[in-house]
Every structure is written in C-alpha cells, then in structure tokens.
Chains A and B, each alone.
Chain A
Amino acid sequence: MSLFERILFVLAGLFIVLNWGLIMTGIIRKIIARVGMRRGIKVYQPYINLVKNFSIRSQLSHGVMFYLGPVFRLSGGVGIFLFMPMIYGSEYWTNFSFTGDLILISYFMFFGMLGMALGAGEGGHPYSAIGVSRGLAQFTAIELPLTLAILSIAIQYHTISLTEIVAAQQGGIRNWTLVTNPLATAAAMLSFLGAMGHSPFNVVMAPQENPIGPPTEYHGTFLGVLQTNRAILHVVEAVLYMNLFFGGATNWGTLILKTFLIYFWSVFVGMVFPRFRVDQSIPWLLKIPLAIGILAIIIFMI
C-alpha cells in the first residue's frame, strides 16, 4: 500500500472515530438522562452544538498560547489515533503503528493536557488556573497505576508494540489480558475511571458549577476544537484499553461495541458515586489502584 493510500485510510479512520465519538457522547448523555428519569437530549445534539460553536461570529484572543492551547489538545487526541492500530489483522486500519507505539501513545496522553494548561493559563481566568492545576495533579495520579499496568503487560508479553500485544490475545476470551493478567487490568480500569473525567473524578471540569475549569475562557471555534478533540479522545482511549486488555477488535462492529462497553464502565460508576474533591481523588488513586498496579509488577518478579 502506498503512502498516499495509507494517509487516505488514516483520514477515513479519523472521520469514523470522530462520528462514533459524537454519537457515543449523545447516547451516553441520553442514558444518564434516563437514569435521572428525564427524556434527555437528542442523540444528535453533540453535532448541533459543534455546528453552533463553529458558527459563532465574533471571537476574542488572549494571545498566541491561547490559540495554541486547543491546537495542542487536538494534536494530543489525533496523535494517539495516528499511532493506534484500530483493527487487528487489517492492512488498512492499522494507521502508523510501529514497534514502540505504546510508549509514544502514553506520551501523547499527557501532551494535550500540558498544551491546554499553557493555553488556559494565558486566558487569565482564575477558574482556568484552578482547573488546570487540579487536572494536572489528578492526571499524574491517574497515570501511575496505568503506567504500572502497561509495564506489567510489557513484561508479560515481552513487547511494547500494541499490534503484538493484540496478536498475543487472539483466540477467545481465555487469551485476553483480562484473564491472563487480571491485576494489571484491575489497576488500569480503575485509573480509566479518572481518565474519562466522569464522576467521581470530574472535579476538573465540574460542569454546571461556577468553575468550569480549563476551558472557562474558550468559546466559539476554540471550544469547537476542544469538543472535537474530546469526541476523538474518548474513543481512542477506549480503543487503547481494548487493545491492551480486551483482545482488540477484528472489525469495526466489534470495535464500536467494545469501546462503548469500556466507556460505559466509567459512566456506570459515575452515575452511582458522587464527585470526589481533588484532595480525595488523588489519595484514592494512590492507594488501591496503585497497590494493585505494584502487585501486577511484583508477580512477574517472583
């Protein structure tokens, strides 16, 4: 396959992922509404919001970094996608995955946060600064169990290539990391709760309260870019967990089903438990998930 064809398939994949992300957001918000005994938004409401935000006529800037914040955030999300093998065994949907893609992807997960921190900082609103400092502190605590789980898997499969990790899990549920390495899966799925930003770990955005967090000053197209990124990011992060722990996907149908169920795990927990303060969420992440993550490493040391 030529480079040109490959780029075409990457763009097509990005299009599918963006649309699935928007639809998934709509479905999830519908489910949350039904749990609250409301009718809830239309399933296609995220599309309308996106169009509306891109149609705002006047926009303000606070400086160069303010522009670059959403751009960095989007490149974080798209960066994860670019190096993520989406469909196992497919020549067309493996994007630009290579031998060390797992390391690069875990770098990209933090990259967007840092770019957003710089942009939101230049916005100058106190709530942005509070949101960013909470977000970075909490995300550091989220990354620890996840990194330990990734290391545990790397030791288990002797590789840091996502394609090879998925290949090792083929042939039924018995071969999934979920079964062969339950400790690493438990640590990572607990950190996943934090990574998705649903309750109890949504103090960073704290929607519909006074401090909306980092995007307080972002509006119009800036906010549209951030929404686009969030739709992509939710799907690709779920795809990362699917590849690591749940046997990957061999076609788009499986991918959509598995990413939905993985994402729904964080929503399910969020609908039951109320919001943590940031001084509660970080110690929580540093206790049980971190302990399980360390156990997952120690098991391979013995």
Chain B
Amino acid sequence: MSEKKDIPEDMFLAPENRKHTVTGPDGEVIHVDPLNDYFCQDLPKVEAPYKGVLEKFLNWARAESLWVLAYGTGCGSIELPPLFSPRFDAYRFGVMMRPTPRQSGVLIISGYLAVKTLKRAIRSYEQMQNPKYVIALGSCTINGGMYFDSYNTINRLDHYLPVDVYIAGCMPRPEAILAGFNKLKERIKSGNAEGANHYAENLEWYKANQKKIIKDWNMPTYNW
C-alpha cells in the first residue's frame, strides 16, 4: 500500500493487486507482486492449423460439436434457454451448454454490452482455448441498436472481440439463433473461422480499443 504514489501505471489496479509487502508470523518480510505472482503474463500465440484433409476432418468435428458458454449479457440471454427446450432442441445440431469457459468453444454475446460487462466478456473469451468462436446476437452488437447513444454501452462489438457470425434482430427468435449456428458451422467447415488466431495476431489493436473503454482494467493484459 505504501507504494501507491510511486507507481503511476498502478492507477487502475485494485489495492490487493498492487505490489505490496506482507509480514509473516515470524517477522519475515515478503514482497508480493500479484500480477506476476498469481497470473500468467504470457500473450497468446498464433496456432497454425494443420493442412489438407486432417484439418478438414477436425473442422468438421469442431463444427458438429459446438459447446456454448452458458453466459448471457443483455436481453438476448432470455432467448437462449428455449433453444434447449423440446420445441427448438439445439442438441440435435450438436450444440451444448457448458458452465465453464475452459470447456466451451462458442461465446454468444447476447445483446447490448455494458462497459462493466465487456470486461467480463473479454475475460471469459480469453479463458477459452484456441479454436473459439463468437456469435453476436441482436442489433446492439452491430451498431449499438436502440442503445446507440447510451453512455455506458459499446456500439460495435468487433472492435473488441473477433466476431464470426452476426444474428440481426431485436431480439432474434430462437429459430434465428439456430440459423446462426448453422451459418457458424458452414464457416468453421470452410476453414475461415480463425477468430482466435486473428485476435492473437491483432492483439495490440484489440487491447488498445478495450483499454480505451475499460477504465478500471485491474487484470493482466491477457487473461489465460
């Protein structure tokens, strides 16, 4: 805490994430640098896809087994639960909800994205592993929609995360979301859905955009 004034780049760090010293029970002094000690500071690398038939086969498997992160922002998240009801039954397309970003491959940004939520969406996206896809749901993610002049929502999602498929509407019905899943499948099978690699290549641009909006960054550059 004492070094609060010395380090200006710590401005946006929460007190527990700033460099500080801890005194142990026997009087020993331990220097703690939370961002380096508790978090991984590595940046993502471009993972080159295989070539030829093998990559085609793997892409087919990835397309037929879309594991969606059970995470909702804005009003669109209420359109997602009906997908798994008997009426729409997204399971038959190989779509499944996963509760943890580690196991999921698809992130659905389901509506307007408040600045506060953008930070969580970025963390969740970065915790997912390399072949990962983003579906942007509703017009709010395209141009801000009815929140275009709001003080605390972002307007264009693809300035912050690499979007694979947009589903327009306010709000899109579950049928439209199913059509979006099929569009995403086509894109994966054609080998064009390399959003994760695109994000790793243009990380500086994405990070600059993100940090312009998020004032209380308070986390490592890339959240593994």
Contacts and interface: CB of A to CB of B under 8 A. Distances in A.
Looking at B86, B92, B99, which has the most chain A CB atoms within 10 Å of its CB? Answer: B99
Given A48-B64, A57-B47, A212 B98 contact: yes
Interface in A211-264: 211-212, 215-220, 223
Interface in A117-172: 125, 127
A125 to B, nearest CB: 8
Interface string B40-77: 00001101010000000110011011000010000000
Interface stretch (A31-39, A76-84, A184-192, A195-203): A31-39
B130 A40 contact: no
Given A209-B99, A219-B102, A219-B129, A40 B61 contact: no
Nearest to B49: A57
Contacts of A211: 99
Given A41-B94, A56-B130, A60-B129, 16 more contacts: A33-B89, A38-B86, A40-B91, A52-B61, A52-B62, A52-B64, A58-B44, A58-B47, A207-B99, A209-B99, A210-B99, A212-B103, A215-B103, A216-B100, A217-B102, A223-B103
5 contacts: A37-B86, A49-B65, A51-B61, A58-B196, A127-B100
Nearest to B200: A58
Interface string B102-127: 11010000000000000000000000
A42 B89 CA distance: 12
Interface residues of B, number: 28
Most chain A CB neighbours (cut-off 10 Å) among B47, B65, B97, B224: B65
A2 interface: no
Interface string A10-38: 00000000000000000000000100111
A180 interface: no
Contacts of A223: 103
Contacts of B172: none
Interface residues of A, number: 34
A214 B44 CA distance: 26
A41 B102 contact: no
B91 A33 contact: yes
A75 interface: no
Which 3 A-B pairs rank lowest in CB-CB distance, beginning with the nearest? A57-B130, A57-B47, A51-B61
Interface of A: 33, 36-42, 45, 48-49, 51-52, 55-60, 125, 127, 207-212, 215-220, 223
B98 A38 contact: no
A218 B92 CA distance: 25
A218 B102 contact: yes
A218 B62 CA distance: 18
Contact of B89 (A40, A60, A127): A40
A19 B92 CA distance: 21
Contacts of B145: none
Interface in B160-217: 196
B62 A55 contact: yes
B44 A39 contact: no
A40 B47 CA distance: 34
A49 B91 CA distance: 12
Contacts of B220: none
B46 to A, nearest CB: 10
Given A39-B89, A57-B47, A58-B129, A52 B70 contact: no
A153 B65 CA distance: 44
B89 to A, nearest CB: 4
Nearest to A59: B129
A52 B57 CA distance: 10
Contacts of A39: 89, 91-92
B99 A38 contact: no
A210 B86 CA distance: 22
A49 to B, nearest CB: 5
Contacts of B94: 41-42, 45, 48
A212 B99 contact: yes
A38 B91 contact: yes
Contacts of A218: 102-103
B53 to A, nearest CB: 14
A122 to B, nearest CB: 14
Contacts of A59: 129
Contacts of A51: 57-58, 61, 65
Nearest to B95: A41
